[in-house]
Chain A
Amino acid sequence: MSDEAKVVKVTDSGKPAEQPPAARTFVPAVDVIETPDALIVLADVPGVTKDKVDVLFEEDVLTIKGEVEAAGEPGMRLELEEYQAGNFHRSFTVGQGLDVSNVEATVKDGVLRLLISKSAALKPRRIEIREG
């Protein structure tokens, strides 16, 4: 499979958040789904390849960044431009209880998918009931 999703490293640099790049930047639409033991974040980032995406956790702020190569057809004339290629940038403040050291990030077909585990304290636990 050529477009095999790749696990992106999540860096926790502790540095102050970088300024978004000066180039045209768009805010991607996201879905956030809560499952019993994780949070799934889906973001539409068309044109972003797996090596051009950055996922950063800094304290309680999750930042996703994607870089898009400028679209263009050398030697051709642009007849109609309804969208412009640009980079993506979005930050979220995440609540307590997420295990930020345990994040899986994949990019496929222009959709970034993050799987963020809940910390053990938030995961549902079944308590065995013993006979007294």
Chain B
Amino acid sequence: MPIWDFEPLSWDPWADLARAGERMESLLRRVAPAMLGAEFPCVNVWSGDQKAVVEAEIPGAKPQDLEVSVQGDGLTIRCSRPPEEAREGERYLRQERWHGEFARSVRLPFPADEGQVSATYKDGILRVELPRAAAAKPSKIRVES
């Protein structure tokens, strides 16, 4: 019997540090993706039984400047935002917003039914809905005796 029992350490400083790191990274991705070498645009991906949803923040784009293509479980988003050219007599006092052309590929959680993919653009957010391909749907196997 030891002289005293240590309580199991409930505070895990490494986990806290890792969380702080994740937070920092997520913040940097948002404000300065180039610093992380993160790919742009940033995406969020959700998956469900029937479909996957991918969203990307692309403010100020025009639908014709956005291109979405799907092949199997690969999704590619291309976007461009030309700089607003200062006209005669105008000058930039500050220029922080990104411009240029970007392409981003994301691996989906499962192959999508390519013919049924839909994409909408609203309030600067691109949203792609990708129904699960029939072959990738979970199927129940009957167990025979």
* Residues of A that sit less than 8 Å from B by CB: 3, 26-27, 29-36, 39, 42-49, 71, 73, 75-84, 109-111
Contacts and interface: CB of A to CB of B under 8 A. Distances in A.
B123 A110 contact: yes
Contacts, number: 119
Given A47-B123, A79-B52, 10 more contacts: A29-B98, A30-B94, A30-B97, A34-B91, A35-B87, A76-B53, A77-B47, A77-B48, A79-B47, A109-B62
Central interface residue in B44, B87, B93, B122, by most chain A CB within 10 Å: B44
Interface size for chain B: under 10, 10 to 19, 20 to 34, or 35 or more residues?
35 or more
A82 B106 CA distance: 12
Interface in B12-58: 26, 29-31, 38, 42-48, 52-53, 55, 57-58
A44 B29 contact: no
Given A31-B84, A110-B59, A111-B60, A81 B124 contact: no
A77 B62 CA distance: 29
Contacts of B121: 109
A45 B57 CA distance: 9
A78 B84 contact: no
B90 A33 contact: yes
